[in-house]
Amino acid sequence: MDCLFCKIARKGLPSDVIVYENDAAMAFLDIHPLSLGHTLVIPKIHYENIITLKEDEITPLFSAVKKITEQLMKVLSPHGFTIGINHGKDAGQVVDHLHIHVIPRYLGDGGRSIHSIIQNSSPYEEGLHNIAKKIRISQ
């Protein structure tokens, strides 16, 4: 498979943008940073999204997210972070290899919160409880 992020994981592309790796995950700087330190964290194996991601990949992947967030805080002292996944083409996913954006936030950067992605605040017609009932995962 000719996946861009698989190539980065194999270090088949310039690897000087890699900022952290463990056995199963890797973090590297985004080529078009939204802010100073914008980092992408990926599983080294190709998974398109969090649904297809294997259970035992979760810990190393999110451990890498935590590690790099701590490091960015230490060296760049941002005022906050926005951390997220564009899941699916319609949600803005361009590269179909799962990646978590870790975006340092700085005072006055003009960015907004996750709540600004969709401006639809109308309440559920069916009621919150009915939607929760539909979604709830039984133990």
- 8-42 burial by CB neighbour count: b if 16+ within 10 A, else e? bbeeeeeeeeebbbeebbbbbebeeeebebbbbbb
Burial of 127 (0-12, 13-18, 19+ CB in 10 A): exposed
Half-sphere exposure of 65 (CA within 13 A, CB side): 18
Structure token pair of residue 56 = 């035992």
Q: How far apart are CA 101 and CA 92, in angstroms?
A: 12
Whether 97 is catalytic is: no
Q: How far is the CB of 57 from ligand 5GP (least distance, A)?
A: 18
Nearer of residues 9 and 65 to Zn ion, judged by Cβ: 9
**Residue 13 DSSP code:** S
Residues contacting ligand 5GP: total by CB under 6 A: 13
Residue 136 contact, options ligand 5GP, Zn ion, none, Cβ 5-8 Å cut-off depending on partner type:
none
Residue 95 touches ligand 5GP, criterion: CB under 6 A: yes
State the catalytic residue, choosing from 46, 79, 97, 99.
Answer: 99
Query: Of residues 74-133, which lie at the interface with Zn ion (CB under 5 A)?
Result: 97
Query: Of residues 38-57, which lie at the interface with ligand 5GP (CB under 6 A)?
Result: 40
Closest CA to 47 of 5, 90, 102, 94: 5
Nearer of residues 5 and 28 to Zn ion, judged by Cβ: 5
Please report, as ranges, the residues that interact with Zn ion according to CB under 5 A: 3, 5-6, 46, 97
Please report, as ranges, the residues that interact with ligand 5GP according to CB under 6 A: 4, 17, 28-32, 40, 86, 92-95
* Active-site residue set: 99
